[in-house]
Amino acid sequence: MSEDVREVRVQGERVASYPDLPPEVARGAVRRITLVGEDVLHRPCADVTDFGSAELARLVDDMFATNAVAEGAAIAANQVGVPLRLFVWDMADEWGVRHVGHIANPVLDELPAEQRKLVEESEGCLSVPGPYRPLARPDVAVVRGQDMHGNPLVIEGRGYFARCLQHETDHLSGSLYVDRLSARERRSVLREMSRTQDEVQARRAARAADLGKPLPLP
């Protein structure tokens, strides 16, 4: 994690310190990341109901491990092939705040019109390896859901973290960032992905080796 990080928030709460690699990464196994066009990414996910289970805890660990190997900001459950309303994140925003956590069954607050300031920034996706494209989103987001034990959870973000919360919540509704682009721009993204996909996969394999995490079979 960057030396520019000045504050860490875990599950939305400030903590005094936190390891560069979350403990979930050490426990978790790397799963295959699904790609745009696969059915699981293009249909709404089911609500999480098995709170407190070993299976749910294992899924959260595996998602953190997979996200770390892919050097992502966040990853949704359907991006590892599990159609549940769940995502995890580990990223730093523009103000040097590192955000780490997970949320189940997230719902974004509807923002009042006076708070809906749209900001256009470059956006990419682990399931669309390689390309980034400018996309306008509100620069503030509030998402409400539950943690893995079923406890209520409210996460607030601004800037890049707000974009992350919206991007991942979209995933759980069966939508990718490319679905917000024009048809022409979407075709451009998919062409670029076909050219860069092998390079991205090679970087992920190298990162997995550095972390001592075996990659799943294709």
Where in the sequence numbering do the catalytic residues fall? 168
Residue 151 has phi, psi (to 5 degrees) of -75, 140
Q: Using an 8 Å Cβ cutoff, are 97 and 9 in contact?
A: yes
Q: Which two tokens stand for residue 207?
A: 């990162």
Region for residue 130 given its phi and psi (left: phi exceeds 0; alpha: psi -120 to 50; beta: otherwise) = left
| Residue among 1, 93, 74 at smallest CA distance from 33 | 74
Q: Which two tokens stand for residue 161?
A: 């973290």
Q: Which two tokens stand for residue 145?
A: 């859901």
| Residue among 161, 187, 21 at smallest CA distance from 169 | 161
Identity at 190, one-letter amino acid code: L
Q: How far apart are the first and last CA of the chain?
A: 28
